[in-house]
Amino acid sequence: MTLTKRCVTTLAGLLLTVGIQAAPVEMAGVKLADPIDLGDARLQLNGAGIRYKAVFKVYVAALYLNKKAATPEEVYATSGPKRISITLLREIDSNELGKSFTKAFEENAPKTEMSRLIPGLLKMGQVFADQKKMVAGENFTIDWVPGTGTVISVKGKPQGEPIKEAEFFNAMMRIWLGSKPADWKLKDELLGKAS
């Protein structure tokens, strides 16, 4: 093979690889970027899935970490920034959404940590109460940013002050990854297990 052919073959391979890595994942019409940048870190899509309630699609959830994690314990122990992204697939009353998150939060949070988590839980409830309603296509993210805390952003805008306690972010993750998750199939999908 000539040098020119080798260069063309190598370049084509590199372009194909870059193209594959940059291609967003699409789920129920929602495009999920992979990777994403959060602060100074580049996070990869660990897994994504659709939350169903009965037969209705409610939202697409995507978990981003700096390295792959296959168990909830690995997710909790992962250092560095983390993100869970939620994109709604139907209109939802924000109070209803906040109440369902609070219930799942309480069912999955360690009882020994609850007293420290209540202030963050109240802040989270207020964030959703302030929204009134969210419609299909709208997005919110819950980020863990070391040195800052848990940042909840709605439609790309941070809401209120960060919640400083590290336990709060992991307690939030238990809504989807805990022993009583919001949706068992979604839990597996967020952990990168094919359905």
| Domains observed in the chain | 24-190 (3.50.70.10)
Give the per-residue pLDDT at 140. 94
| Chain centroid offset of residue 28 CA | 16
Hey, which residues does 50 pair with through a beta bridge? 60
The tokens describing 18, both together, are 């870059």
Give the per-residue pLDDT at 66. 96
- pLDDT per residue, tens digit, the chain (195 aa), is 544 444 334 433 433 334 444 567 999 999 999 999 998 999 999 999 999 988 899 999 999 999 999 999 999 999 999 999 999 999 988 878 888 888 888 899 888 888 889 899 888 888 888 888 889 999 999 999 999 999 999 999 999 899 998 889 999 999 999 999 989 999 999 999 965
Give the per-residue pLDDT at 195. 55
Quote the CA–CA distance of 76 and 108 in Å, as a whole number.
13
Q: Which pTM value belongs to this model? A: 0.85
